[in-house]
Amino acid sequence: MLTKFETKSNRVKGLSFHTKRPWILASLHSGVIQLWDYRMGTLIDRFDEHDGPVRGVHFHMSQPLFVSGGDDYKIKVWNYKLHRCLFTLLGHLDYIRTVQFHHEHPWIVSASDDQTIRIWNWQSRTCISVLTGHNHYVMCASFHPKEDLVVSASLDQTVRVWDVSSLKKKGASPADDILRLSQMNTDLFGGVDAVVKYVLEGHDRGVNWAAFHPTLPLIVSGADDRQVKLWRMNDTKAWEVDTLRGHMNNVSCVMFHAKQDIIVSNSEDKSIRVWDATKRTGLQTFRREHDRFWILAAHPEINLLAAGHDSGMIVFKLERERPAFAVSGDSLFYAKDRFLRYYDFSTQKETQIVPIRRAGSTTLNQCPRTLSYSPTENAVLICSDVDGGTYELYQIPKDSIGRSDLQEAKRGPGSSAIFVARNRFAVLDKSNNQVLIKNLKNEVVRKSGLPVPTDAIFYAGTGNLLCRSDDRVVVFDLQQRLVLGDLQAPFVKYVVWSSDMESVALLSKHSIIITSKKLVHQCTFHETIRVKSGAWDENGVFIYTTPNHIKYCLPNGDSGIIRTLDVPIYLTKVSGNKIFCLDRDGKNKTLVIDATEYIFKLSLLRKRYDHVMSMIRNSQLCGEAVIAYLQQKGFPEVALHFVKDEKTRFNLAIESGNIQIAVASAKEIDDKDHWYRLGVEALRQGNAGIVEYAYQRTKNFERLSFLYLINGNLEKLSKMLKIAEVKNDVMGQFHNALYLGDIQERVKILENAGHLPLAYVTASVHGLHDVAERLAAELGDDVPSFPEGKEPSLMPPAPIICGGDWPLLRVMKGIFEGGFDSTGRGAVDEEEEGADGDWGEDLDMVDSDGLQNGDVTAILEDGEVAEDNEEGGWDLEDLELPPEVETPRVNARSSVFVAPTPGMPVSQIWTQRSSLAADHAAAGNFDTAKRLLSRQLGIRNFTPLKSMFLDLHTGSHSYLRAFSSAPVVSLAVERGWSESASPNVRGPPALVFNFSQLDEKLKAGYKATTDGKFTEALRLFLNILHTIPLIVVESRREVDEVKELIIIAKEYVLGLQMELKRRELKDNPVRQQELAAYFTHCNLQMPHLRLALRNAMTICFKAKNLATAANFARRLLETNPNENHSKAARQVLQASERNMTDASQLNYDFRNPFVTCGATYVPIYRGQKDVSCPYCTTRFVPTQEGQLCTICDLAVIGADASGLLCSPSQIR
Amino acid sequence: MAGSPDHLFNLRNNFYLGSYQAAINNSDLPNLSPDDAVERDCLVYRSYIAFGSYQLVINEIDSSAATPLQAVKLLALYLSNPHDKESTISSLKEWLADPAIGNNPILRLIAGIIFTHEEGYNEALKHTNAGGTMELHALNVQIFIKMHRSDYAERQLRVMQQIDEDHTLTQLANAWLNLAVGGSKIQEAYLIFQDFSEKYPMTGLILNGKAVCCMHMGNFDEAETLLLEALNKDAKDPETLANLVVCSLHLGKSSSRYLSQLKLTHPEHILVKRASSAEDSFERAVQSVA
């Protein structure tokens, strides 16, 4: 039993759950009805109008109503929103035992000690039926959840089932009820509207409770004979099925569980018992020490039960509902309905993987409790409470997810089991306080004692354990047996690691502690209600759920609510603004949340002001809370951007020192206080202009005068003097005069104010003797005397400069101010785009032309065909093993030890198994490689191939530092590796050249040609020709492509060589024309052909060989050139049509098909004799035989050769 | 293994996994038994040797030091002076013949290392094959791999696994062997290095191990990333450079800078040697074919 909530009170006689809200009503023996929020654990309301015990209480399904019935014979209907009783139904003549609303009709059924059951219409507030028949107290009566039946239990030892269908017909409309009012008295006794259908006899004592099964035609009853009886009914009869014995005293209440096949009963024997409804055996018993049980209630929708007893009530669950799950990368593994299931977060698909063991239903709560997944082993450990803690190990079938044959799981005892490393899992052995480290065969590899008394273990990174004891957790390194971290923490229930394994969240019942991986405390969050689950988002924010909220925790300890929840969920993963979770039915759900607030706060915290700024600019968030947060965190200048209210804005501006905004706001507000504060801040910053402005606005003349004095602004000071004079402000006048150093004025003011002695003193001290004398005359005898030896000093020094603002204080704004205008960036983007355009065009052209080669790549990528196994299952071991020498192991260091003979290096195997030159070169067997090439392709000149040979050889081995200071191990790298390759069977060497690289080079060559970089292009095409002899491809098809590539490269090499030659020949126009003409007969890509034709056309046209030029122009037009070129071609055509002649004779007959000799660059017309290069197939005039091919620079012209061998498929 | 925590665990691990500086820095351990202290000193000096600080080791170990330390000094002498190996080897042989110290595991280990350098595998095995410490077994595995006798290497590995399957050296030796036999085992080797990288701070050795696995699986892009990370840690690490040369070749990138760097800093590296001998054999072959 999982107790969720408990109250202490007077005896609880009636209970009712609210359908939607987490509320429960408890009616007490004292007459009070309490309304509790069982989730928050608070008393929401109490209703105290009944006189004497209230035995029955019931919530309405949908309206804010509940009904109660008590020993005062009254049935009261209450509105809990209005906190008052709406009306009272009177009629019963004795205690009322139970009351219940009908689920759809406006009816209430009540059972009473007056031996009747009454059905009331609470809308018309009348009794519509009185069910008589019981001849003792009726202890309970309730409607069937679907059918028109009522079941009642009575101390007359019977259970009765009543048919109330006739009421429905009669009570179709409220008007009928009123009509029937008069009738009612007549059929008060022996009414015909509700009839007894069955009378169930079998209990030997009074029956206290009877209840329908929610879906099946079953009834369960409990009686003072201490028995629970199960009844079945059909259309015509009802009969006793079985009796459940076990209670030691009167059974108070009994009911079917809505979702499971169990019966729950409670009794005055102070116990609640759970029974298997099919096997009719007791499953579990929960006892209380002193309290007799009186009532049970089930939540209509969720898995909650409540029981009332002598001193209060409990709300509880029978079974845990949290699904066991484990998250690994993008995968979620969880247990549901006896199956291990898999959910892919990216595709949001779920699959059933393997069935898991069906827990014997001998006791409750045997479902999987925790689940641990090992991605490397693709295995799952499931722990449950079966037999006091058992784990089961399931291997997930690799290929056939969804196949559901039951595999026998490996299992063992232990309440906690988790994977700790590859092929290792730890099982907690609580009794010896140690962990057993096991491998996947379920064999114990090691045992390790634990540093603290541990009752659960959690994963804590490879090779580490997080051990939980009552009040602390430790991270323990299994290999070193060292405690890496230790932290006091209230009983930790769940542990959630961040994806980088750097932070961990420890979830307790009411708190979350976030620590580093070594358990260094970072922050703690407290909750008033239960913490249900949590997950880390990608940014290091911890998201968690309580029963009714999703909340976030920031690394600095700030937290907040993201959204509310209707039902508890279990978070599995947070990804951006998506939250993945499992609900209580084990269904995967995705919630979209607004992550703005916490991302904003996180960005602030991490000082990622660019993010902050962009979020402000998009103004996705606003509100007092954010402003307050910003202010509190010391970012008033950021908050400034949110505020509309001028006063707040002013305050923030002052706080952040933003004078401009402050002035603007002050103008808007325009009251003295704000101007004053603006003045103070401006003065602090040294912004005298604003200070002056602020003082002017508030007419604060004294301050203004002082400001002018400080600034040395005499002009304005004298103005102030005048203003004071006008205002008749003597003191102000005097001050200003004093500041100005204007003695005459001072004397005058003093005189006017009647301070003659002072005026006299002032005048005489400052040497205004005439005035002094005049005053002395006026004063007569009262002329004051002067103290001796004092110099007058009331003259202000003359100002050096009259300044405006002082040097201003630097006000922190930088990051934010700058960022709000976003014009700067666009320009760069545009520029880049422009560049892109250019590139794109270039590429496009080459791409479209190189289409055929595109295919080549595709095919190349297609085929990782099987390796060559030409010599069957040739195995190193078999060949080279010396006769088995029994090496004496005892004292083996003596000379008896015979070391094994060295095995065969892999490179040697390569040469033995391959007749491909590249393989031999990679193996370092250059000699044979060269012989092969010479035989196959007639190659004699190896100098161009030197670097290729060396690269192949260098690239064939990798280097592994093994034992420190010992020589490194070089390892042969093999090509065509696959997961399923068997070890010890050697593949051919990995080669540094591959066909796709050549393809790249070909493209580069095309591009260089297009760009007119002929030397560069020539180099690239030659490189292709030089690499091909050392290329290895897999399939026959690719062999053909390689051969094609030779031809392509050869044509280009020939063409480019001729073109380069032509450029050298400045003074031989005829030869120039010829070479240009031959170039057009090389097999070129269309754009290149076009260029060659234009070239040839121009040269010939310039040399007045109009007929030939016309031919080129015609051919050019056939290639669909662009506007400009076709125009030129047409012009040439027009010009030459007028005069179809050639000025000079060329060795060029375009009507007669020919190939060009690769060495002499003369046409070899069809039918003429020629010799060719055995490798690149270039043709030559016969005189070239025996020479080195000038095109490929490798083979000897006319040499014998067996042909290109570049694939193992050619040998098979 | 006894229940008490192993004081030298971290030191050993750091040494095996190639974080020599960490091994040196964290060697100041309190309350060591005399035996542990000698082992500690050995590991520290061997770390210095791995760094190439031979002279420091030669100077610091005086003639009164314990046999294992003398053996370590011998290794430093051997490696510091490639031209005068004979005297070192002869004194090594002398010591090995001495029944009083000849059985010392560190001495045997050093003998194994030196003879392996000399490619005298039989001679090396004569001293190491009896085993006795995890290190000796691991060296055996390596020697057998060098001899291309993975069957023998596997037997040695099994012995190690019986002693302590989770020992760092066992895991490492397992990875070496897996790489040597190839095929599907490469993946297991990768997982072993992956485990190390999760459990311990990244070292050039682990990164190189992972990179080599990647290369053998044909994944040169990932290998390059790993190797560049290793290069960041130590720009002069010979294996990193050598593997980068190989990796760059396979990626069709220029390898010349890495190669010349390697030639400059480690002219004796096996890759450099192979390259120059290959060049010679190319020229020879040209002669013979022509």
ipTM entry? 0.93
Closest CA of chain B from A535, distance in Å: 21
Least confident residue range of A530-534, A982-986, B177-181, B214-218: A982-986
The H or E element spanning position A47 is: strand A42-47
B125, B145, B181: residue with CB nearest A984: B181
Chain B's closest residue to A376, CA to CA, is: B191
Q: Are strands A251-256 and A238-245 parallel, antiparallel or unpaired?
A: unpaired
The H or E element spanning position A936 is: helix A926-937
Residues 1133-1162 of A with CB under 8 A from B: none
What is the structure's pLDDT at A153? Answer: 95
Q: Can you say how many angstroms the Cα of residue A552 is from the centroid of all Cα atoms in its chain? A: 14
Residues 191-220 of B with CB under 8 A from A: 191-192, 195, 198-199, 205, 208-209, 212, 215-218
Residue-wise pLDDT tens digits, A841-862: 333 333 334 334 434 344 334 4
- Tell me if A954 and B271 make a contact (CB, 8 A cut-off): yes
Q: Does B46 touch chain A (CB under 8 A)?
A: yes
How many residues are there in chain B?
A: 290
Longest Cα–Cα distance in chain B = 72
- Tell me if B148 and A977 make a contact (CB, 8 A cut-off): no
Residues 70-109 of B with CB under 8 A from A: 75, 79, 103, 108
- Residue written as token pair 């397992």: B174
Mean pLDDT, residues A870-875 taken together? 40
Residues 20-39 of B with CB under 8 A from A: none
Of A87, A250, A235, A269, give the one whose Cα is nearest residue A165. Answer: A235
Phi, psi of A1008 (to 5 degrees): -60, -40
Residues 126-185 of B with CB under 8 A from A: 126-127, 129-130, 135, 138-139, 142, 144-152, 165-166, 172, 176, 178-185
Q: Are A351 and A363 in contact (CB under 8 A)?
A: no
Strand, helix or coil at A633? coil
| pLDDT score of A225 more than 90 | yes
Mean pLDDT, residues B191-218 taken together? 90
- ∠ CA A550-A552-A556 to the nearest 5 degrees? 165
B125, B198, B246: residue with CB nearest A462: B198
Q: Are A902 and A881 in contact (CB under 8 A)?
A: no
| pLDDT score of A891 more than 50 | no
Compute the distance between CA of residue A758 and CA of residue A744 in angstroms, rounded to an integer.
13
What is the structure's pLDDT at B208? Answer: 93
Chain B's closest residue to A888, CA to CA, is: B130
Q: CA of A219: how far to CAs of A16, A50, A230, A245, A276, in Å? A: 20, 32, 6, 16, 15
What is the structure's pLDDT at A706? Answer: 82
Mean pLDDT, residues B122-140 taken together? 88
Contacts of A422 in chain B (CB under 8 A): 191-192, 195
Least confident residue range of A237-241, A522-526, A717-721, A1007-1011: A717-721
Structural domains present in chain A: 2-166+193-317 (2.130.10.10), 322-413 (no CATH), 524-618 (2.40.10), 622-692 (1.25.40.470)
A479, A940, A960: residue with CB nearest B176: A960
| pLDDT score of B252 more than 70 | yes
Closest CA of chain A from B64, distance in Å: 24
Residue type at A453 in one-letter notation: P
Half-sphere CA count of A728, side-chain side, radius 13 A: 0
Mutate to test the interface with B, among A465, A946, A961 (most CBs of B within 10 A): A961
| Cβ within 8 Å of residue A722, ≥6 positions away | none
A479, A900, A954: residue with CB nearest B275: A954
- Tell me if B125 and A897 make a contact (CB, 8 A cut-off): yes
- Tell me if B129 and A973 make a contact (CB, 8 A cut-off): no
Q: CA of B56: how far to CAs of B23, B73, B76, B124, in Å? A: 16, 10, 9, 26
Compute the distance between CA of residue A1187 and CA of residue A113 in angstroms, rounded to an integer.
126
Describe the strand order of the beta sheet including A456-459 as a list of residue ranges: A456-459, A464-468, A472-477, A482-488
| pLDDT score of A1197 more than 80 | yes
Phi, psi of A1006 (to 5 degrees): -60, -45
Q: Are A912 and A977 in contact (CB under 8 A)?
A: no
* The two structure tokens encoding residue B243: 């593997």
Residue type at A387 in one-letter notation: D
| pLDDT score of A756 more than 90 | no
* The two structure tokens encoding residue A346: 């990216």
Residue type at B187 in one-letter notation: Q
Q: Are A926 and B281 in contact (CB under 8 A)?
A: yes
Compute the distance between CA of residue A851 and CA of residue A292 in angstroms, rounded to an integer.
88
| pLDDT score of A1107 more than 80 | yes
| pLDDT score of A900 more than 50 | yes
Residue-wise pLDDT tens digits, A370-395: 889 988 888 888 888 877 788 888 88
- Tell me if B282 and A942 make a contact (CB, 8 A cut-off): yes
Least confident residue range of A286-290, A660-664, A828-832, B172-176: A828-832
Q: Does B186 touch chain A (CB under 8 A)?
A: yes
SS3 content of chain A, % helix, strand, coil (to 5): 30, 30, 40
CB pairs < 8 Å spanning A and B:
239
Closest CA of chain B from A952, distance in Å: 8
Closest CA of chain A from B204, distance in Å: 10
Compute the distance between CA of residue A695 and CA of residue A682 in angstroms, rounded to an integer.
11
* The two structure tokens encoding residue B276: 């120059």
| pLDDT score of A229 more than 50 | yes
A905, A927, A968: residue with CB nearest B239: A968
Of A653, A691, A686, give the one whose Cα is nearest residue A669. Answer: A653
What is the structure's pLDDT at A777? Answer: 80
Longest Cα–Cα distance in chain A = 151
Q: Are strands A957-960 and A588-592 parallel, antiparallel or unpaired?
A: unpaired
Handedness of CA A138, A139, A142, A144 (dihedral sign): negative
| pLDDT score of A27 more than 50 | yes
| pLDDT score of A1159 more than 80 | yes
| pLDDT score of A206 more than 50 | yes
Mean pLDDT taken over chain A:
82
> For the purposes of burial, counting CB atoms within 10 Å of the CB of A1157, is it exposed (0-12), middle (13-18) or buried (19 or more)?
buried
Mean pLDDT, residues B36-52 taken together? 89
Chain B's closest residue to A449, CA to CA, is: B3
Strand, helix or coil at B86? helix
Contacts of A445 in chain B (CB under 8 A): 165-166
Mean pLDDT, residues A591-602 taken together? 84
Least confident residue range of A467-481, A713-727, B53-67: A713-727
Q: CA of A537: how far to CAs of A24, A508, A599, in Å? A: 36, 20, 10
* The two structure tokens encoding residue A1190: 């000038």
What is the structure's pLDDT at B63? Answer: 84
Note the pTM of the prediction, 2 decimals: 0.65
| pLDDT score of A979 more than 90 | no
Strand, helix or coil at A229? strand
Contacts of B183 in chain A (CB under 8 A): 977, 981-985
Strand, helix or coil at B77? helix
A900, A969, A997: residue with CB nearest B142: A969
Residues 416-435 of A with CB under 8 A from B: 421-422, 424
Of A596, A510, A514, A497, give the one whose Cα is nearest residue A555. Answer: A514
Contacts of B214 in chain A (CB under 8 A): none
Q: Does A964 touch chain B (CB under 8 A)?
A: yes
Of A139, A126, A137, A259, give the one whose Cα is nearest residue A183. Answer: A126
- Tell me if A902 and B125 make a contact (CB, 8 A cut-off): no
Chain B's closest residue to A881, CA to CA, is: B149
Closest CA of chain A from B37, distance in Å: 18
- Tell me if A946 and B144 make a contact (CB, 8 A cut-off): no
Q: Are A816 and A609 in contact (CB under 8 A)?
A: yes
Contacts of A940 in chain B (CB under 8 A): 289-290
| Cβ within 8 Å of residue A726, ≥6 positions away | none
* The two structure tokens encoding residue A1025: 């020709």
Residue-wise pLDDT tens digits, A789-844: 655 666 777 777 766 666 666 555 444 444 444 333 333 333 333 333 333 333 33
- ∠ CA A990-A993-A997 to the nearest 5 degrees? 130
What is the structure's pLDDT at A998? Answer: 87
Compute the distance between CA of residue B22 and CA of residue B6 in angstroms, rounded to an integer.
17
Strand, helix or coil at A1147? coil
Contacts of B184 in chain A (CB under 8 A): 979-983
Closest CA of chain B from A498, distance in Å: 14
Residues 268-307 of A with CB under 8 A from B: none
B50, B165, B212: residue with CB nearest A960: B212
Q: Which long-range contacts (CB under 8 A, 24 or more apart) does A278-287 make?
A: A280/A230, A280/A242, A280/A244, A282/A244, A282/A246, A283/A361, A283/A362, A283/A363, A283/A364, A284/A1, A284/A363, A284/A364, A285/A246, A286/A1
Closest CA of chain A from B261, distance in Å: 15
| pLDDT score of A556 more than 80 | yes
Mutate to test the interface with A, among B244, B272, B286 (most CBs of A within 10 A): B286
* The two structure tokens encoding residue A805: 């603002």
When comparing pLDDT for A811 and A788, which is higher?
Answer: A788
Contacts of B289 in chain A (CB under 8 A): 927, 930-931, 934, 940, 942
What is the structure's pLDDT at A657? Answer: 77
Phi, psi of A1190 (to 5 degrees): -80, -15
A904, A966, A982: residue with CB nearest B116: A966
- Tell me if B275 and A974 make a contact (CB, 8 A cut-off): no
What is the structure's pLDDT at B268? Answer: 85
Compute the distance between CA of residue A120 and CA of residue A124 in angstroms, rounded to an integer.
9
A446, A961, A984: residue with CB nearest B205: A961
| Cβ within 8 Å of residue B265, ≥6 positions away | B236, B238, B241
Residue-wise pLDDT tens digits, A107-118: 999 999 999 999
Residue type at A565 in one-letter notation: L
- Tell me if B148 and A482 make a contact (CB, 8 A cut-off): no
